[in-house]
Chain A
Amino acid sequence: MTEKTFMAGFGGQGIISMGQLWVYCGMKEGLEVSFFPFYGAEKRGGIARASVIVSSKEIASPLVTTPDSAIVMNMDSLPLCEENLKPNGIMLVNSSLVKTSPKRKDVKVVNIPCNEIAESIGDVKFANMVMFGALAKATGALKLDKLEEVLVSFFGEGKSKFVPLNMQAIEEGKKAVAV
């Protein structure tokens, strides 16, 4: 199993955190992982992108150029994701912000209203975690069976009070993917 994911959005949407948590979970599930962010002048509203791979074997290039799955968190990211996604790949779209439908017909599009779901939990900041849950469900790449302990060690002790709401957001994201 190798799942190559390209994540894109704007700075402040939690693209980097989502990618890091994804590979952290993968590592805890015994997989090989790599996370390579687009780095430069990090700022709110700027470009946030990450190449993320989880695999049962040694990972070759950490740069994801033909992703199996793509996450489109905002409108600007759609053209890029659409261009690169593998035929029959999965495109997870944050339909709260992306109002245009992808043109490609050879990919599986999953619309998740991440911002609305996050707001219903209490804060739009959980939108990335909603998408995280959707990615796990749609790809089946990670089991997320030890999510709580993984989240506790990922966030660290000081922030462990946020674990239940993040778990809820991930759960809601999974549910939002139609089986």
Chain B
Amino acid sequence: MAQEKRLMKGNEAMGEAAVRAGCQAYFGYPITPQNELTAYMARHMIEKKRTFIQAESETSAINMVFGAASTGSRAMTSSSSPGISLKQEGISFSCGADLPLVIINVQRAGPGLGGIAPAQGDYFQATRGGGHGDYYHLVLAPKSVQEAADLTYEAFDLAEQWRMPVMVLADGMIGQMMEGVSFKEPKDPAKMPRKPWAVGHQKNREANHIASTQLDPEKFNIVIDERFRRYDEIKAKMQRYEEQECADADLVLVAYGTSARVSLGAMQMARELGLKVGMFRPITLWPFPEKRLSELADPKRKFLCVEMSKGQMIQDVRLTLNGRSEVSFFGRSGGLIPTEEDLLAEIRRILNK
């Protein structure tokens, strides 16, 4: 049942959602603009006698998550772009070990140390397997404080269902802004289903080993093939998106997260001018919602990809549309958020109206 609405920052709302999802262990290291999330977990995890550790580094934090997840505990970490880069080794190892865990990335402007303002430059890293090796993991992209809470809550279930890390890919705007949010019922960590694959609690069974290594190429090939069959199943079942006024649209804006909020505003302004503009918002970035987007392809319909980067998701849009529609790009980087007015001007330019 939905609780009464609370006014919260996105960072705090993701923290509360994780606590309610039954997160038993949080490991993090401070970085702007996600600090409120770590601070929230420090207060509330300890209050509930669960595990909170501020690690000595991001590398350490992700490996602590690996350890906790190996025991079958619901475990998570959070960071922002440069910190997520440091965690990539651990994420690759977790994917190789098929461990369910949750990672939140409140993106800021990069590359390098970059800036602390909102950005979406980590799309490639998040959706292409940011570490070494041949792997993917679920990537969920919230557009609001409410959705940030809902997706974080669900991320723990999805991680266990699909036996993989799940990343919530937010940005500085989602993390720092306040909106009304209501939460789902808290889950009791003590009542979580037992995981037969987990280490620890060894009684009357063979020891479980959790590792990402396999030195026999023949055997390793089988393991990877099996994992990729799971990826195919995820692609078939997990593609999520939101669609607004695409049916009659001459131009469809494709955007996720904060960019989708800006796109919605520009779309509404365009509609008021009588321009047939729609919006397609991927909610899962991996798997990319290619089935529905592909159905929208039409030689008479144009697409405009809107991102807070120099253009990353546009590659998935182009792959999906496969030359059947014209695709162009509009973006801001360095920590700038595109304005509804500038995007509207671009829409009018493309439609010659």
Residue of A nearest to B177 (CB): A36
Given the complex of chains A and B, what is the CA–CA distance between A40 and B116 in angstroms? 7
Query: Which listed residue (A33, A58, A66) contacts B341, Cβ 8 A?
Result: A66
Stretch at the interface among A5-13, A20-28, A131-139: A20-28
- Taking a contact as CB atoms closer than 8 A, the residue among A32, A34, A63 that contacts B262 in the complex is A63
Interface residue ranges of B174-213 to A (CB < 8 Å): 176-180
* A60 contacts B7, C-beta separation under 8 Å: no
Contact with A along B327-344 (1 / 0, CB 8 A): 000000000010111000
Report if A14 contacts B (CB, 8 A).
Answer: no
Give 1 or 0 for each of B26-41: 1 = CB within 8 Å of chain A CB.
Answer: 0000001100000000
Mask: chain B, 233-273; 1 = CB below 8 Å from A; 0 = not: 00000000000000000000000001001101110100000
B96 within 8 A of A: no
Contact between B116 and A39, CB atoms less than 8 A apart: yes
A62 at the interface (CB under 8 A from B): yes
A33: chain B residues within 8 A (beta carbon) = 7, 178-180
* A27 partner, pick from B5, B32, B117, beta carbons under 8 A: B5
Are B265 and A60 in contact (CB-based, < 8 A)?
yes
Quick check: is A56 within 8 A (CB to CB) of the other chain?
Answer: no
B337–A63 touching, CB < 8 Å? yes
Segment 34-90 of A: residues with Cβ below 8 Å from B? 34-37, 39-40, 58-63, 65-66
Instruction: Determine how close the nearest CB of chain A comes to the CB of B176; give it in whole angstroms.
Output: 5
A31 to chain B, nearest CB (A): 9
Q: How far is the CB of B331 from chain A (nearest CB, A)?
A: 15
Cβ–Cβ contact A36 & B173, under 8 A = yes
Q: Which residue of A lies closest to B181 (CB)?
A: A27
Query: Given the complex, which residues of A lie within 8 Å of B177, measured CB to CB?
Result: 34-37, 62
Docked Cα-Cα span, A63 to B177, in Å, equals 10
Closest CB in chain A relative to B207 CB, distance in Å? 48
Count the B residues whose beta carbon is within 8 Å of the partner chain — how many?
Answer: 24
B172 interfacial contact with A, CB 8 Å: yes
Within 8 A of A (CB), among B42-101: none
B7 & A65 in contact (Cβ 8 Å cutoff): no
Known: A36-B176, A37-B176, A39-B176. A20 touches B7 (CB 8 A): yes
Give the docked Cα–Cα distance between A39 and B173 (Å). 10
In contact, B178 and A61 (Cβ under 8 angstroms): no
Residues of A within 8 A of B117 (CB): 40
Contact status B176-A60, CB under 8 Å: no
Task: Tell me which of B178, B265, B340 has the highest count of chain A C-beta atoms within 10 A of its own C-beta.
Answer: B178
Is the Cβ of A34 less than 8 Å from the Cβ of B178?
yes
How distant is the Cα of A40 from the Cα of B268 in the complex, in angstroms?
Answer: 31
Q: In the complex the two chains form, is B180's CB within 8 Å of A65's CB? A: no
Q: In the complex, which residues of chain A have a beta carbon less than 8 angstroms from the beta carbon of B176?
A: 36-37, 39
CB <8 Å contact, A23 and B264: no
Choice from B5, B32, B173, B339 contacting A65 with Cβ under 8 Å: B339
Q: Which residues of the other chain, A, contact B179 by a CB distance below 8 angstroms?
A: 23, 32-35, 59, 62
Identity of the chain A residue whose Cβ is nearest the Cβ of B337 in the assembled complex: A63
- Asked if A32 contacts B180 (CB within 8 A), the reply is yes
Contact of A35 among B172, B178, B266 (CB under 8 A): B178
> Contact between B340 and A65 (Cβ–Cβ < 8 Å)?
yes
Task: Give the distance to chain A from B337, nearest Cβ to Cβ, in Å.
Answer: 5
CB atoms of A27 and B264 under 8 A apart: no
> Contact between B262 and A61 (Cβ–Cβ < 8 Å)?
yes
Q: List 12 A-B contacts (CB under 8 A).
A: A34-B177, A34-B179, A35-B178, A36-B178, A37-B177, A39-B176, A40-B116, A59-B179, A60-B265, A61-B264, A62-B261, A63-B173
Write the residues of chain B forming the contact surface with A, with a CB cutoff of 8 angstroms: 5, 7, 32-33, 116-117, 172-173, 176-180, 258, 261-262, 264-266, 268, 337, 339-341
Apart from A61-B264, A62-B261, A65-B341, 13 more pairs, CB < 8 Å: A33-B179, A33-B180, A34-B177, A34-B179, A36-B177, A37-B177, A39-B33, A39-B116, A60-B266, A61-B339, A61-B340, A63-B337, A65-B339
